Amino acid sequence: MRGTGRRSWRAGETRPCSPRFAAARLSGQRRQDRDRTLGGGVCTRAPRRRLGQHGPGRLSGKGGADRGGPLRDRGLDYLEPKTTRTALYPKLAVEDVGPGARSTRLTLRDGDGGILADLIAGKAGPRTASSDRAGVYIRLPGRERAWLAEGTLDVHRDAPGWSDREILDIDARSVRSMTVRHADGEVVDLHRADPGDRKLTLRNLPEGAVVAHQHEIDFMAGLLTELSFVDARAGGPSDPAVAPGFEATVETADHLRVMLRAGNPAEDGTLWAAIDAGVVADAEASGQVRSEASRIASRLDGWIVKLPRRISDRLVIRLHD
């Protein structure tokens, strides 16, 4: 332990044990799994109990000041027991979560909703465990004992931090048609006249007019290329933040159909949007396309996302441009 001047105590090693130390019980462990076990006046150090050797699962959290979120668990070890005094919890940031708390409640669930791990995470740092070892203070909910755990616990406090931000990726060359309806009713309707055409063109070109800026059409066609979000929150198509704005529909050559309903851009060009997906009506879409449409729809169901400026730059283009 740090500052004792004693050498490390290896797993399986024994040494004399004081009665006070021998009687200590480590909170949260089964008798046969305790870090230190009593045996005839001799203390034996068992291998450290591991925290966080989990497979993939769904991560959720809640914490003071809206903290919480998924856990990037690199594996934690119980290192040493700390206080059981409630009054000292805030010093380690392991108090029960609530208004004003600095703690973070982390719950790791499997695909069926079963709890794999549940803990309160407190102060952490690259030298918390020792001068060259990362550590974090933790406490199991409902238990009195706080612990110092060795390892890195990287906790994100917002939705984008725990999410895969990429939503979908539709190459401009695979777009068959694209329609953007503005709040005032103006429609920009693009399509690929023949499947072999390299470029999209205006389907609702005014009579006698010609396309003067093909590069604007090409630019719009990349609307859903590597589409990712910068923020997300619960909501849906009726959310005021996505009130038109814009309504855009993109259909691909393989009959995937993506619908985007977005609000007006903010000063920085970002905008909130609700996104849904399906297949083109009466089209013979492949199973792979149907699966992709289902993935997009289910992933974004009940959410609205904030999209970057590159999206609004494409949506604001009008016929006269």
Q: Given pLDDT bands bounded at 50, 70 and 90, which one contains residue 128?
A: confident
Which residues have CB under 8 Å from 246's CB, separation 6+? 180, 181, 182, 183, 260, 261, 262, 315
pLDDT confidence of residue 160? 62
Q: Other CB atoms closer than 10 Å to residue 168's CB: what's the count?
A: 20
Distance CA 301, CA 299 (A): 6
pLDDT confidence of residue 157? 63
Q: Given pLDDT bands bounded at 50, 70 and 90, which one contains residue 240?
A: very high
pLDDT per residue as tens digits for the range 56-69: 233 333 444 333 33
pLDDT confidence of residue 158? 64
Distance CA 95, CA 145 (A): 11
More confident residue, 228 or 44: 228
What percentage of the chain has pLDDT greater than the value 90?
45
- Encoded amino acid at 104, one letter: T
Distance CA 279, CA 294 (A): 9
DSSP H helices, 199-285, are 214-220
Mean pLDDT, to the nearest integer, of 10-15?
A: 42
Say which range, 19-28, 48-57, 175-184, has the weakest mean pLDDT.
19-28
pLDDT per residue as tens digits for the range 252-299: 999 999 999 999 999 999 999 999 999 999 889 999 999 999 999 999
What percentage of the chain has pLDDT greater than the value 70?
74
Q: Given pLDDT bands bounded at 50, 70 and 90, which one contains residue 212?
A: confident
- Counting other chains too, the contacts that 274-279 makes at CB distance below 8 Å and 24 or more residues apart are 274/235, 274/236, 274/237, 274/239, 274/242, 274/300, 274/303, 274/304, 275/167, 275/300, 275/305, 276/237, 276/300, 277/168, 279/255
pTM of the model: 0.58
